[in-house]
Chains A and B, each alone.
Chain A
């Protein structure tokens, strides 16, 4: 019997999974856009972003646009790889159910 894959715990959290999925479809995104799309609070969103950043799945760029601070987030290659593996593991676990 083949061994069932384990789900990456960093990605498995709902908000972190939503963030990575959102960022996989765009080049980069601002904090406010991510907050609006996920409906999360500033504190929770910041904490989950930090976890993804620490895991190397997100890259952060801070800059000033017209004298206003702007924080941009984009998915790293290892983040994309991790999400792909997570989806494959999910599909394997669900097997014939999907």
Chain B
């Protein structure tokens, strides 16, 4: 009897360790909205360029989007009752996206100013970069839905290289819709489910 009680206590300790490690690693941050946000920003820039033909449309839209995105994140973090700790995986994913953002912010204006800008190259480069970031993030957290968005971006990269300018833009619009808007909304639904579960367990 005593041995059984002790054995149960030891098993409880082991399951406590497993539960707490899982709890600590669980990232319940709300990031899915950023996919929708950037998807809308891409649409704004595409529409602005299509109707106005202003060469600075993309640069201005992206800079405004960066500032707005940063302000919203700071506001969200500030309103949380306790700051969520950073994990190594979380920092790795964040680094991939920031590095991708910086690369695009440097490369695209440089292409524009150097006069070597080309619609097909633009779509191919942006799609390849987004495929890289989504693929890396998806593989790190083993999330099939995000790996699927990476595949869509990679298909768009190849398609943009072979199609006409108009076809490349259509491919880009479809990829943005699937990988930013649909995936972002799907992520937001999942996050709200997790929040509800956490609230019911609290």
Contact = CB atoms under 8 A, between A and B. Distances in A.
A19 to B, nearest CB: 8
A21 B20 contact: yes
Given A28-B86, A29-B85, A33-B84, A22 B24 contact: yes
A95 to B, nearest CB: 9
How big is chain A's contact interface, by range? 20 to 34
Interface of A: 12, 14, 17-18, 21-30, 32-33, 35-37, 83, 87, 90-91, 93-94, 97-98
Contacts of B85: 26-30, 33
30 contacts: A12-B13, A17-B16, A21-B17, A21-B18, A21-B19, A21-B21, A21-B24, A22-B20, A25-B21, A25-B87, A26-B25, A27-B87, A28-B85, A29-B24, A29-B85, A30-B83, A30-B85, A33-B82, A33-B83, A33-B84, A33-B85, A35-B82, A36-B81, A36-B82, A37-B20, A90-B10, A90-B13, A94-B11, A94-B14, A98-B14
B10 A94 contact: yes
Contacts of A27: 85-88, 91
- Looking at chain B's contact residues, is the secondary structure mostly helix, strand, loop, or mixed? helix
B197 to A, nearest CB: 15
Contacts of A30: 82-83, 85
Contacts of B18: 21
A59 B23 CA distance: 21
How big is chain B's contact interface, by range? 20 to 34
Contact of A97 (B7, B17, B81, B82): B7
Contacts of A24: 21, 24
For the complex of A and B, list the 4 residue pairs with the smallest distance between their C-beta atoms, beginning with the closest: A25-B24, A21-B20, A32-B82, A29-B85
Nearest to A87: B17
B24 A37 contact: yes
Contacts of B14: 87, 90-91, 94, 98
Contacts, number: 76
Contacts of A29: 24, 85
A69 to B, nearest CB: 13
B61 to A, nearest CB: 30
Contacts of A97: 7, 11
Nearest to B86: A27
Given A17-B17, A27-B91, 18 more contacts: A14-B13, A17-B13, A21-B20, A24-B24, A25-B21, A25-B22, A25-B23, A26-B24, A26-B85, A26-B87, A27-B86, A27-B88, A28-B85, A33-B82, A87-B17, A90-B14, A91-B14, A94-B10
Nearest to A70: B83
A17 to B, nearest CB: 6
A40 B91 CA distance: 28
A93 B6 CA distance: 10
